[in-house]
Structure 1
Amino acid sequence: MTHFLVTDENPKGYRMEDILKIIRKDIFLRTTKIMEDERPEAQTVMDNNVRILGLMSEAIAIAENSTAILEKSFGPSRSGEPRIGT
């Protein structure tokens, strides 16, 4: 059973792109709090977070593409049987 993602055992879970968007927002909000900190450590963390935000955006786009493919091929997700895989 997954902890966060929708499955037949966890129908109230998140779609992958939705949870990634929540995490991206949290990272963005945390990053804005250290923008004015000129210490090298803070700047390195901020740079890392900006890079992570870009990767998160790529991951969100990929997840949205997968959802679109599944919806086009198999229709909207419903409780019960998974659309692909077993």
Structure 2
Amino acid sequence: MTRFLASDTNPEGFRLEDILSALRADVIKRCERITEDHRPEAHHVLENNIRILSLLTEAITLAENSSKVLDRSFGPSRAADGGDPRIGKL
């Protein structure tokens, strides 16, 4: 059973890339709040957040690629309509 992601047991869940994109937007907002703080600790946190943003962007790209492969190979997901998962075991 998944908590956040769409699945046969959680048809109202989200796509991985959508969750990652929302998380990236939150990190960007956090970065905006600390850009004017010139203390070394703030600079350190900002640098870490910038690295995290890069990794999130890479993860979003991978998740979007997986969705495209599934769509191309098996058609659109029918999990929201109670359909079987496109890959994996029930």
User: TM-score, normalised to structure 1's length?
Assistant: 0.98
Q: CA deviation at 1:75?
A: 0.1
Task: Give 1:39's aligned residue.
Answer: 39
User: TM-score, normalised to structure 2's length?
Assistant: 0.94
Q: How many residues align?
A: 86
Q: CA deviation at 1:2?
A: 1.0
**4+ long deviations beyond 4 Å:** none
User: Quick one: percent identity of the two aligned structures?
Assistant: 57
Q: 5 Å matches for 1:22-61?
A: 22-61=22-61
Letter of the structure 2 residue corresponding to residue 65 of structure 1: N
Task: Give 1:65's aligned residue.
Answer: 65
- CA–CA distance in structure 2, aligned partners of residues 14 and 31 of structure 1: 25
What are the ranges of 5 or more consecutive residues in structure 2 without an aligned counterpart?
Answer: none
Q: Which has the higher contact order (CA 8 A, sep 6+)?
A: 2
C-alpha RMSD of the superposition: 0.5
Task: Give 1:3's aligned residue.
Answer: 3
Task: Give 2:15's aligned residue.
Answer: 15
Letter of the structure 2 residue corresponding to residue 72 of structure 1: R
SS at match of 2:34: coil
- Which string of whole-angstrom CA distances, capped at 9 and with x for unpartnered residues, describes residues 30-85 of structure 1? 11100010011111000000000000000000000000000000000002211000
